[in-house]
Amino acid sequence: MRSYIVGGAVRDELLGLPVQDHDHVVVGATPEEMMAAGYTPVGKDFPVFLHPSTHEEYALARTERKTAPGYKGFVFHADENVTLEQDLVRRDLTINAMAKAEDGSIIDPFNGRRDLQQRIFRHVSDAFAEDPVRILRLARFAARFTDFRVAPETHALMRRMAEEGEVDALVPERVWQEISRGLMEARPSRMIEVLRDCGALARILPELAALWRMPASAPQAAAGARLLCMLDDAAQAGLDLPQRFAVLTYDLSAGAVSPQEDAAAALVDAVCKRIKVPTDCRDLARITAREHRHVARAGTLSAEDKVALFERCDAFRKPQRFIDMLQAAACIHGGAQAAFPQRDDLTSALEAARGVDAGAVARQLAERVKEIPGAVHRARVAAVEAVAAQRQR
């Protein structure tokens, strides 16, 4: 039996990048031989083993065949006669389809090294079209390897996949998994551009794709371009995933035919439900879409308005989420690293309002329970007024 390092580890090493995890492919072995050598089987659908001491993954070389549409329509085949090349040809991109032998030599049947040097994402074979996840992966890699471009033939193939509806077979979990990973890369805008340009965005996130379908004369015509800048700004400033997602979705209603009050938050909900976005990301995105304009005019808000804003955002129970929203709003209104006095203003107002001892107010009104919420609210408004007066001095 022979084993090879494959995939991302070979690519990253050739790029001179640190290698996170090593995937191995084993040729010429049976599962029984692997177990006899001390490997632990872990694969559910195909034979994958953990090395007895390094615990790295060793997969038996396998072929795959598409037998039915959708995500589950793959049949895998592994036996000791499957060659390394057969295993490599089923991979998505040429840069991900190289192997490194134990003697250090590189096996590169699809010219991955050339594409790496020329900075090109190119599909290995037309079997690329059998799995729409590959479009998402390519888009995510575009956000990471920012100077790579998509080969024209790969672009054409992805367009066809989007047109023919293959993209519609994506399961929500995989969409979110890849989108969220892409958002955490260096230039998330490139993921969105790749998805937009091949037509996949219109299938996966039509609400977002609509930002680029407005007539050039529309007042919101530049909304898409602006959004892409904000996303990269958010990445550069190191915003976390919920914040980056909030920036991605803050203005979905800009592309709507007749945006209504609260339309933005409703569109966020629709997207989150469809691609099963986790609650922390959904909740931050929702309050950002609904409140960012109020945050932007914090300087003109009364103490009453500010407390109402905190209440709508559940900021007394979840202050950190509110602070995170302020950072997303800063990114939307002027830049993640630019001065944003609204943030300091609202942060100190929230601190003051949180300083109110709601328990003490409640004890004083023990006989008149119904009056407690109103009294707490008024005490908070007074505290915010006091801090505002202090800041003016």
Q: Give the Cα separation of 260 and 50 in Å (integer).
A: 54
CB of 9 to Mg ion, least distance (A): 7
The answer to whether the beta carbons of residues 186 and 180 sit under 8 Å apart is no
How many Cβ atoms are within 10 Å of 163's Cβ, its own excluded? Answer: 13
11 labelled binding-site residue: yes
User: Is residue 115 a contact residue for ligand ATP (CB under 6 A)?
Assistant: no
Q: Give the Cα separation of 48 and 31 in Å (integer).
A: 9
187 labelled binding-site residue: no
CB of 18 to Mg ion, least distance (A): 12
Q: 324: part of which helix (H) or strand (E)?
A: helix 319-332
Site string for ligand ATP, 52-91 (x = CB under 6 A): ---------------------------------------x
CB of 97 to ligand ATP, least distance (A): 6
**Chain centre distance of CA 166:** 21
The answer to whether the beta carbons of residues 159 and 167 sit under 8 Å apart is no
User: Is residue 92 a contact residue for ligand ATP (CB under 6 A)?
Assistant: yes
Tell me the residue length of the chain. Answer: 393
Q: Is the CB of 73 or the CB of 355 nearer to ligand ATP? A: 73
| Binding partner of residue 94 among Mg ion, ligand ATP, none, CB cut-off 5 to 8 Å per kind | none
Q: Is the CB of 92 or the CB of 108 nearer to ligand ATP? A: 92
DSSP string of 137-200, one letter each residue: HHHHHHHHSTT-EE-HHHHHHHHHHHHTTGGGG--HHHHHHHHHHHHTSS-HHHHHHHHHHHTH
Phi, psi of 290 (to 5 degrees): -80, -35
Which residue of this chain has its Cβ atom nearest to Mg ion in the complex? 8
Binding site for Mg ion (CB under 5 A): 8
Query: CB under 6 A: which stretch of 68-76, 128-136, 220-228, 286-294 binds ligand ATP?
Result: 128-136
- Tokens at 376, concatenated: 């707490």
| Binding partner of residue 91 among Mg ion, ligand ATP, none, CB cut-off 5 to 8 Å per kind | ligand ATP
User: Is residue 8 a contact residue for ligand ATP (CB under 6 A)?
Assistant: yes
131 labelled binding-site residue: no
Query: CB under 6 A: which stretch of 68-76, 92-100, 242-250, 358-366 binds ligand ATP?
Result: 92-100
The answer to whether the beta carbons of residues 41 and 78 sit under 8 Å apart is no
Write out the binding residues for CTP: 8, 11, 91, 137, 140
Residues lying near ligand ATP in the complex (CB under 6 A): 7-8, 23, 91-92, 96-97, 131, 133-134, 137
